[in-house]
């Protein structure tokens, strides 16, 4: 889709201060979109900049900053008052282990929050597209590889179950009400500004010379998608006419074991860190390896950044952050 598509488009982003959301927000502003953001209010006092982390530098560029809980029904009215043409819904409780002890909280944010977005879109006459963010975790451990969109949805954690429910609710709103929904299923995303999950944790530990802790035997593997390629996927799902009513994988078609990732990060950082194995994590997915051929067929999309190149960029970013503190 040509870059002029976004010029002047009224866009609302939920979860704009998250890892991927912050990159997508920057990209849409650069493309000339009129961007509003929906953020969870963290404090009742202090300037809004203090409540934003990754996108605080963009605060003056937004059309509107909406604050509230995405899981509250008030969200429907707040969004409709804003009247967006396109909604990118990324707000979620996304850290899998958090869902082990907080399944209700995760369900409320990830499922009820998505339902509020869908209902707001159904009632909004301006709406042209809603992009709902699903997850490769919805598939569970690969029953065959690479995982295509026809693979069974077999969630292994409360987080994954909440994403499956939100994914299918999104499809139902397109199927029942004709809401122009597209569902993006990105595989494990990494890159600058990510603060949890394997890659950022390993990079920080390696740079600090601390032990790199691996859950279980480390043979579990992941398909790791660099954030720039993921953002391109989001922009396509928000603009391409063939994305409506579809769930589409964005992946690399390659998976790497956790052991390999730890070794590669240690090598690229010249770290003296020891790699140590700890007890296996609950609800662990053994293997994720995505098939992106549907995205290629529909949109001509392919990943451009290799895993090693992505790691180098990510390491450089973290190094610069540490030296600037």
Catalytic residues: 159
In the 8-state DSSP scheme, what is residue 246?
Answer: -
Query: Three-class SS of residue 276?
Result: strand
Q: Which residues touch 284 (CB under 8 Å, ≥6 apart)?
A: 156, 215, 216, 220
Q: How far apart are CA 75 and CA 124, in angstroms?
A: 13
User: Contact 200/190 with Cβ under 8 angstroms?
Assistant: yes
Give the CA count within 13 Å in the CB-facing half-sphere of 129: 25
Distance CA 262, CA 212 (A): 7
Mapping DSSP onto H, E and C, the string for 33-91 reads: CEEEEEECCCCCCCCHHHHCCCCHHHHHHCCEEEECCCCCCHHHHHHHHHCCCEEEECC
Structure tokens at 122: 């159904």
Q: Which among 31, 15, 290, 40 is positioned nearest to 150, based on CA atoms? A: 290
Structure tokens that stand for 106 in this block: 């995760």
**Tokens found for residue 215:** 């859950």
**Tally of CB atoms within 10 A around 78:** 18
Question: Tokens representing 16?
Answer: 């704009």
């Amino acid at each position: 889709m040509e870059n002029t598509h976004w010029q002047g488009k009224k866009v609302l982003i939920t979860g704009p201060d998250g890892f991927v959301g912050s990159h997508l927000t920057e990209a849409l502003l650069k493309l000339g979109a009129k961007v509003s953001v929906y953020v969870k209010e963290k404090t009742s006092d202090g300037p809004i900049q203090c409540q934003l982390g990754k996108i605080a530098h963009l605060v003056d560029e937004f059309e509107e900053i909406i604050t509230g809980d995405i899981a509250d029904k008030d969200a429907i009215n707040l969004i409709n008052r804003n009247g967006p043409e396109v909604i990118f819904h990324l707000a979620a409780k996304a850290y899998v282990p958090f869902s082990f002890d907080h399944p209700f909280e995760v369900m409320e944010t990830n499922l009820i929050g998505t339902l509020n977005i869908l209902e707001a879109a159904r009632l909004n006459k301006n709406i042209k597209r809603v992009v709902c963010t699903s997850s490769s975790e919805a598939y569970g451990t690969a029953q065959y590889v690479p995982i295509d969109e026809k693979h069974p949805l077999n969630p292994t954690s409360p987080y994954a179950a909440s994403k499956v429910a939100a994914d299918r609710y999104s499809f139902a709103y397109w199927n029942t009400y004709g809401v122009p929904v597209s569902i993006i299923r990105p595989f494990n995303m990494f890159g600058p500004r990510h603060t949890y999950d394997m890659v950022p944790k390993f990079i920080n530990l390696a740079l600090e010379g601390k032990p790199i802790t691996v859950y279980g035997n480390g043979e579990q593997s992941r398909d790791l998608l660099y954030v720039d390629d993921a953002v391109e996927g989001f922009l396509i799902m928000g603009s391409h006419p063939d994305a409506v009513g579809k769930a589409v994988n964005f992946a690399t078609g390659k998976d790497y074991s956790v052991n390999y990732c730890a070794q590669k990060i240690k090598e690229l950082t010249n770290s003296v860190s020891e790699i140590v194995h700890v007890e296996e994590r609950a609800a662990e997915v053994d293997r994720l390896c995505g098939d992106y051929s549907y995205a290629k067929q529909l949109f001509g999309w392919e990943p451009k950044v290799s895993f090693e190149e992505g790691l180098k960029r990510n390491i450089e970013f973290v190094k610069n952050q540490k030296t600037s503190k």
